[in-house]
């Protein structure tokens, strides 16, 4: 039975490319009106907006620096005002930024990684909590790196993603009395995304795939389908969970 999100309003950060793009489109296909934000992919973002509108859904798209608290609050207020509320928040903004070993890591790199992954999620969840209707949904896009430390030079990134797990579980308890669920997804190697195309060389991708029991890399639809289910009515008693999406590469 397919999920129906008719009448729901969703906000997907980092919704212009990769996993965020596919989640935004999947939610729209299920009937939701969707707002998306981007930081540096305006043309791709406009294309997603057009794609969602072509599906017959409303879509609001705009540039947002999700590391700026006041900007996030204003953006969420705008979404709730223009689209008429908020039911779903997908925190997908984030990134590795660069591979740096701890011994040579700058303070600036550490703080920037925490800001783009952890601070952005906190700001969005805090702003959304004031608008989310009862029985709403929050999904935080984390990473396998939060479990296993990630690849060489990604310790800061892994630390930020592991922190997302604890935040997800704490917020799940806070919002449970309102029927709002808070879960995270932790993707492994997901190709057709700028992340691994930029930071994971082809030979490293192939080595990782060789160790995946399912025998292939993942792709954005593999994550989007799980996110859709977590947004559905049928997942209403699932909260504080980390859904690992990695083809059997890692088991929690």
Taking the C-alpha atoms of residue 137 and residue 231, their distance in angstroms, rounded to an integer, is 6
Q: What is the pLDDT of residue 201?
A: 82
Q: What is the pLDDT of residue 61?
A: 98
Q: What is the pLDDT of residue 1?
A: 42
Question: How do residues 202-227 score in pLDDT, each as one tens digit?
Answer: 888 899 999 999 999 999 999 999 99
Q: Is 39 noted as a catalytic residue in this protein?
A: no
Tell me the average pLDDT of the chain. Answer: 96
**Burial group, residue 149, by CB count within 10 angstroms (0-12, 13-18, 19+):** middle
What CATH architecture applies to the domain 9-244?
Answer: 3-Layer(aba) Sandwich (3.40)
Q: Looking at 123, 157, 219, 250, which residue is catalytic?
A: 157
Residue extents of the structural domains in the chain: 9-244
Calculate the alpha carbon distances from 111 to 105, 119, 230 in Å: 10, 10, 30
Q: What is the pLDDT of residue 193?
A: 82
Residues in the chain where the model's pLDDT stays below 70: 1-2, 195-197, 199
């Amino acid at each position: 039975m397919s999920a129906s999100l008719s009448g729901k309003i969703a906000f997907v950060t980092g919704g212009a490319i990769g996993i965020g793009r596919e989640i935004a489109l999947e939610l729209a296909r299920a009937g939701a009106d969707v707002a998306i934000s981007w930081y540096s992919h305006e043309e791709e973002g406009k294309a997603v907006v057009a794609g969602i509108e072509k599906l017959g859904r409303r879509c609001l798209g705009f540039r947002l620096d999700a590391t700026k608290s006041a900007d996030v609050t204003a953006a969420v207020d705008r979404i709730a005002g223009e689209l008429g509320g908020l039911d779903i928040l997908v925190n997908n903004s984030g990134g590795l930024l660069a591979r740096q070993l701890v011994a040579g890591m700058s303070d600036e790199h550490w703080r920037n990684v925490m800001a783009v992954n952890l601070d952005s999620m906190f700001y969005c969840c805090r702003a959304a909590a004031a608008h989310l209707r009862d029985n709403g949904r929050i999904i935080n896009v984390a990473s396998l790196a939060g479990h296993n430390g990630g690849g060489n030079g990604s310790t800061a990134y892994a630390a930020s993603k592991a922190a997302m797990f604890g935040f997800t579980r704490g917020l799940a308890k806070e919002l449970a009395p309102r029927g709002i669920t808070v879960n995270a997804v932790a993707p492994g190697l997901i190709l057709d995304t700028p992340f691994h195309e930029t930071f994971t060389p082809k030979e490293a991708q192939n080595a990782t795939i060789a160790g995946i029991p399912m025998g292939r890399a993942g792709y954005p639809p593999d994550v989007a389908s799980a996110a859709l289910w977590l947004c559905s009515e049928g997942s209403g008693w699932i909260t504080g969970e980390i859904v690992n999406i990695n083809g059997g590469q890692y088991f929690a």
